């Protein structure tokens, strides 16, 4: 079980390091269907794994000076209240309803990834300049989007990178590499807030969580160092297809196979 947890954690960490988000969208389905956890266990474990893995990935971008850290900190701080509210709602919903809601989020995330891959493929902007003024110039957007991402983090155990990267690229006009680095920092903040909110609600298998987390950090750090060697549009497109496939599997498990691992 621990070896399997480490293998999945490594894969999710690599996705986080390469894409600045997206890998976290698979953590809960993996924990529920591959590792046999309940949703109440999987969500805080996912937040721990995603947050810790994102620290490793964010360090690589911070060292390169490629993160608008003031905007990222404000964006993340605005999500803390949302993550508390999301964690509270998580405890009030039926597990099947949560999984179906999570599948819907996965579909939205996949569509966002596929649209992002199309934008990347036609973009010629290779600028890596960090313009760290969005938190002042677009404060209403930062607050609103930050709170929404935080709510999703607390409710579903996702880091929200699939929302943060498009927001930073399209709403604030950041280059992709800058948006990815900022996304990782926001994920760290949101995941910490969501994890703290969930601690009083459910138990965590710390053996599985540790193996998953350590492997995720290794994957995120390694991928962050080599991210610029890969075609981001192609990676994002294929990952979007994978997320759609997993969303379909979750729906079939809940509606057709009577919940599968969920009792």
The two structure tokens encoding residue 122: 């036609």
pTM, full prediction: 0.76
pLDDT of the chain, 263 residues: tens digit per residue: 789 989 988 888 787 777 766 666 788 888 888 888 888 888 888 888 878 877 867 787 778 777 888 888 888 899 888 888 998 898 888 889 989 998 998 888 788 778 766 665 544 444 445 666 777 777 888 888 889 888 988 888 877 777 777 777 777 777 777 887 888 888 888 888 888 888 777 678 888 889 988 888 888 778 777 766 767 677 778 778 888 888 899 999 888 875 444 44
Helices (H), 123-175: 134-137, 139-156, 161-166
Nearest C-alpha neighbor of 6 from the set 256, 218, 251:
218
Instruction: Please enumerate, as own/partner, the contacts of 115-119 that have beta carbons within 8 Å and a separation of 24 or more.
Output: 115/166, 116/165, 116/166, 116/169, 116/236, 117/232, 117/233, 117/234, 117/236, 117/237, 117/240, 118/233, 119/169
Q: Is the distance from CB of 54 to CB of 155 less than 8 angstroms?
A: no
The pLDDT score that the predictor gives to residue 248 is: 92
141 SS3 class: helix
What 8-state DSSP symbol labels residue 23?
A: G
Helices and strands (H and E) in the chain: how many: 11, 0
Radius of gyration of the chain (CA): 17
pLDDT at 20: 60
Distance from C-alpha of 40 to C-alpha of 10, rounded to nearest angstrom: 22
């Amino acid at each position: 079980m621990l070896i399997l947890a480490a293998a999945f954690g490594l894969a999710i960490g690599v996705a986080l390091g390469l894409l600045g988000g997206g890998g976290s969208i698979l953590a809960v389905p993996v924990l529920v269907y591959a590792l046999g956890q309940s949703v109440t266990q999987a969500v805080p474990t996912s937040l721990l794994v995603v947050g810790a893995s994102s620290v490793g990935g964010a360090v690589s971008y911070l060292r390169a000076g490629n993160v608008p850290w003031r905007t990222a900190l404000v964006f993340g701080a605005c999500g803390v209240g949302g993550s508390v509210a999301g964690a509270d709602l998580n405890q009030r919903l039926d597990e099947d309803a949560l999984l179906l809601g999570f599948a819907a989020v996965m579909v939205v995330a996949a569509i966002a990834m596929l649209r992002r891959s199309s934008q990347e493929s036609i973009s010629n902007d290779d600028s890596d300049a960090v313009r760290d003024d969005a938190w002042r110039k677009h404060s209403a957007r930062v607050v609103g989007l930050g709170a929404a991402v935080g709510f999703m983090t607390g409710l579903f155990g996702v880091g929200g990178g699939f929302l943060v990267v498009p927001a930073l690229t399209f709403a604030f006009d950041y280059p992709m590499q800058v948006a990815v680095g900022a996304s990782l920092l926001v994920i760290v903040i949101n995941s910490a807030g969501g994890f703290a909110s969930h601690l009083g609600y459910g138990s965590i298998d710390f053996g599985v969580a540790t193996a998953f987390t350590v492997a995720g950090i290794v994957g995120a750090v390694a991928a962050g160092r080599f991210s610029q060697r890969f075609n981001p549009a192609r990676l994002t497109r294929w990952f979007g297809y994978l997320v759609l496939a997993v969303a379909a599997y979750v729906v079939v498990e809940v509606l057709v196979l009577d919940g599968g691992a969920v009792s």
